[in-house]
Amino acid sequence: MGKIVKAVCECGNWNEDDLKPAEIRSDWENTSSGWKVIHVLMCIPTGAFWVGVILAKMFIIEKKLVCLHCETWLKMESIR
């Protein structure tokens, strides 16, 4: 689970007075469970490459912001 912040969102009409809770998620958290299984299974034949991909998705690739009310992807500038 990502960090919860307050942000302006289209479901609040981009109003500064109507801040909505939003979550900062890593790319690994956004990946569906099916793809996670494929990533882990691919570690068996290809070894370190897929371990590197998983670690990059968890820690290196830019995190994304999603509104918890309407599930809209937001820009990081929306955080207040």
- Is 39 within 8 Å of 4 (Cβ atoms)? no
Alpha-carbon distance 76 to 54, whole Å?
A: 23
In the chain, domain spans: 1-26+63-80, 31-61
> C-alpha distances in angstroms, 54 versus 17, 23, 26, 30, 38?
38, 20, 11, 12, 11
pTM: 0.56
pLDDT in tens, 31-73: 788 988 888 888 888 877 878 888 888 788 777 888 888 888 7
Alpha-carbon distance 33 to 44, whole Å?
A: 18
Q: How many CB atoms lie within 10 A of CB 7?
A: 22
